[in-house]
Structure 1
Amino acid sequence: MLIVPTARYPENYEYALDFPKFLLIGDSITERCANPFPISDFLADGYDKNGNYTVEHSSLEFCFMGQLQHDYARRMDIINRGFSGYNSHYWRHMIEKVLRIEHDLSYSKCKVATLFLGTNDAALAKPDGVPYDEFLDNMEFIIKQILDRDIRLVVIGPGHHYPDIWESLNPGDVKKGILRRNEENLKYSNGLKQLAEKFQVPFVDLYAAHEEYAKNSVLKSSKNLILDGIHFTGEGYLLLYQLLKNALAEKYPEMTVPNLKMRLPSWNDFDSAKVEEIEI
């Protein structure tokens, strides 16, 4: 897939030094989205005991968070609040505190947030899994907390899962009954879609996007998007990035790069007197 570079728009600036926040809320898929070497996470999880990969020789891949930070440089800061293994139950207890720290008590406010949960919730047993009705209740609570602060929200649903890969790498989970199935991912994704419609916020339907990718691939599979059965490869993150950009352009065009002012002008137009006048 071709990445079209984001123009810098240097003429669109203001004399300000506060940076609004773009908050990424989620689980391990969000936590790892800043890593351009996904194989290093794969190895850190204790996989590939045959030594087929090394961190030194792993390939450089598309970096979701890095690309967002590049896009929004001098406009917004990208804040990663992904927590590996967490689900909507954990986040229900965390969301108010996270928003209090990052928004309520902060000089720089959150303007946009992504909410990407459901992959762990859809597991068939605890501690990963959360029953469907409880999941939706948790997510509604979380969504309300975000929207009550006038933060523009994009909800992201879980995508494809490959149990043949995941279960071979995680026999301990299999013994505990912590299994995952695509039917459950789809169910939880559809529930999130209905919630997004209820609150009139955009929904990134990753499951449908993975289905479309598989349909159009030579192998009729989305495995190129998924590293270990759950977590994403660079190509998987690139697809998510493109879907997110589309959602922002359609629902929140004021939050797209061309419509946001840079902090301070180009170096050759720098006016020290105007910088002195910035109020904090």
Structure 2
Amino acid sequence: MPLLDRWPTALFIGDSLTEFGFSPDGCWLARVAHGLRRRCDLRVRGFSGYTTRWWRASLPRLLPASCPCGQAGDTAACVVFLGANDSSRGAAKPTLHVPLTEFKDNLGWILRELMLRLSLTPDKLLLISIPPVDEAAYKLDCEASGFPFDKFLADCEPYNRAIRDVAHETGVELVDIFKPIKEHENWQQLFADGIHFNAKGSELVFNCVWPAIERRVSHLPVMLPDFEEAAAAGFDEALASWSQRVGLSTN
């Protein structure tokens, strides 16, 4: 098998908070990618507006049971960041709102299916809590764009409680970003529009999430020999030495 095919991956599943993770403002995933360079590739599956209901319908199509990426050892970490849309008020956006009971059931199902389809143990997965909502800023953004105002700070805690329950039931680690954001001085300044992170908010999210990701990938080798070693010893000799050190065949 070519060496490139054995490159480990980190999978990120979510909504717009994940989809925008490489944007100039929502750059938390860009920083994760930098931290994983030469050790692990990112597979980002973030879909703006998606809920756990739609993810439950999408997952079998995105990761069929016969998917070759389901081979044990391929996925070093899998991060699930969902709930911000589920918690939308039903009256404003009935197509997005997912009741708490269904949300909890969907989230647990998603985690169990990821374990099954990717041959993962619970310690490979991570859950991220949903962030707070700056209602004043988000309301202004909704008025400017013509969208209904549907997100409220008070709705975050019940959904985060459900996320904590699912984490406990499945043995999956939970990274809480709600509390660090709320405890930040002038926390409203961490958002671009009241719900999506700006650069400062993305930095805080990265600082919360990265230690848990790093624990899951720290054992992975840096892929291919260092350029100085290759220059000093010749590439073929450096490659053979690297292969022996990390226990990977280069054939």
Residue number in structure 1 paired with 2:8:
20
In structure 1, which of residues 201, 205, 210 is the aligned counterpart of residue 172 of structure 2? 201
Given that residues 130 and 156 in structure 2 are in contact (C-alpha distance below 8 angstroms), is that contact kept between their aligned partners in structure 1? Answer: yes
Given that residues 27 and 86 in structure 1 are in contact (C-alpha distance below 8 angstroms), is that contact kept between their aligned partners in structure 2? Answer: yes
**Per chain length, whose mean CA-contact separation is higher, i.e. which structure has more relative contact order (CA < 8 Å, sep 6+)?**
1
Given that residues 92 and 142 in structure 1 are in contact (C-alpha distance below 8 angstroms), is that contact kept between their aligned partners in structure 2? Answer: yes
TM-score (norm 1): 0.73
For structure 2, the 5+ residue unaligned runs are 244-248
Q: Could you say what secondary structure the match of 2:182 adopts?
A: helix
1:232 aligns with 2:206: no
1:243 aligns with 2:208: yes
Q: Write the deviation string for residues 194-234 of structure 1: whole angstroms up to 9, x where unpaired.
A: 11011111111121122221xxx2xxx31121110110011
TM-score (norm 2): 0.81
In structure 2, which of residues 151, 156, 159 is the aligned counterpart of residue 185 of structure 1? 156
For structure 1, the 5+ residue unaligned runs are 1-14, 39-62
In structure 2, which of residues 96, 115, 126 is the aligned counterpart of residue 154 of structure 1? 126
Q: Could you say what secondary structure the match of 1:196 adopts?
A: helix
Q: Give the AA of the match of 2:13.
A: I
User: Which one has the bigger helix percentage?
Assistant: 2
**Number of equivalenced pairs:** 226
Given that residues 160 and 222 in structure 1 are in contact (C-alpha distance below 8 angstroms), is that contact kept between their aligned partners in structure 2? Answer: no
Q: Give the AA of the match of 1:204.
A: V
Q: Which segments of structure 1 move beyond 6 Å, counting only runs of 4 or more? A: none
In structure 2, which of residues 29, 42, 48 is the aligned counterpart of residue 78 of structure 1? 42
Q: Write the deviation string for residues 151-170 of structure 1: whole angstroms up to 9, x where unpaired.
A: 61110111110122112221
Given that residues 193 and 205 in structure 1 are in contact (C-alpha distance below 8 angstroms), is that contact kept between their aligned partners in structure 2? Answer: no
Q: Give the AA of the match of 1:164.
A: A
Cα distance in structure 1, aligned partners of 2:151 and 2:35: 35
Given that residues 112 and 153 in structure 1 are in contact (C-alpha distance below 8 angstroms), is that contact kept between their aligned partners in structure 2? Answer: yes
Cα distance in structure 1, aligned partners of 2:195 and 2:170: 28
Cα distance in structure 1, aligned partners of 2:126 and 2:110: 12
Give matches, 1:91-110, under 5 Å.
91-100=55-64, 104-106=67-69, 109-110=74-75
Give matches, 1:23-172, under 5 Å.
23-37=11-25, 63-100=27-64, 104-106=67-69, 109-125=74-90, 126-148=94-116, 149-150=119-120, 152-171=124-143, 172=146
Q: Give the AA of the match of 2:129.
A: G
Cα distance in structure 2, aligned partners of 1:95 and 1:77: 20
Residue number in structure 2 paired with 1:261:
221
Given that residues 89 and 150 in structure 2 are in contact (C-alpha distance below 8 angstroms), is that contact kept between their aligned partners in structure 1? Answer: yes
